[in-house]
Structures are given as structure tokens and as C-alpha cells.
Amino acid sequence: WSGLSSPAKLATTIPEVRIPSLVVHATAATEIRVRQAREIAAASGATDITYEEMKGAPHYLEGHRAEAMDLVTEWIRTSGIVVASLAGDERPDQVDSHPRDVIVRASPPRP
């Protein structure tokens, strides 16, 4: 990915995101500043947006990946997001048709 050559423009695409979202920012990243990460989360079109900072983590989360996975796993577990692989365990009442390997859909949070 390159900010110079990619057609992805987060400033114009993030407001179109309408699904529950988790933005995780590595505070030691030099590529994206904390202020910018907070602005990204604030600009999301999602009504259910969670913003988390990983203190001291570098941009690619070296040395902090297990912590990041724990954070993401807990968010998925408590957010009501249903994740199903297309390996045959999806249930039509839980997922939307999507051409990717993993599909997600919001549902009520689990107790």
C-alpha cells in the first residue's frame, strides 16, 4: 500500500463505513499520529465505533501483536459482530452474502 499511489482515500471512504468498527492505533507509529487516528475514528459513518490506542506500539505492532489480537478478539466477542468462515459453518440468519473468505454482520451483543 502506498499513500502516493493507492486510490484508497480514507478521508473520503471512512464516512461511508456504516458497520460497527474498531479502530486500533499504535501510539508509537510515526506514519499516523494519534491526532490523525482520532480524526479517522471520529469521521467514521458508523454509529457504533470503538477507538483504542495501543500505548508504545509501533506502526506494524511488533512486540504487541498478541495484545492487539486480544483486543480485537474481545471487541468481536462483546460487540455482537458475527464472524463466519465460508467453510460451511455460516448460517443464513447470521451472515450476509459477501464474496470474501470471512463475512461479518452486526447482531445484538451477547450477554
- pLDDT the model gives residue 35: 93
What pLDDT, on the 0 to 100 scale, is given for residue 31? Answer: 86
Q: Which of 4-18, 65-79, 90-104 reaches the highest mean pLDDT?
A: 65-79
pLDDT, one tens digit per residue, over 45-81 is 999 999 999 999 999 999 999 999 999 999 988 887 7
| Amino acid present at 20 | P
CB atoms within 10 A of CB 16: 9
Mean pLDDT of the chain: 79
| Overall average pLDDT of the 96-101 stretch | 41
Res. 85: pLDDT tops 60: no
Are 56 and 83 in contact, with CB atoms under 8 Å apart?
no
Model confidence, pTM: 0.69
Cβ neighbors of 92 (< 8 A, separation 6 or more) are: none
106 or 19: which leads in pLDDT: 19
Question: What is the C-alpha to C-alpha distance for residues 44 and 19, in angstroms, rounded to an integer?
Answer: 10
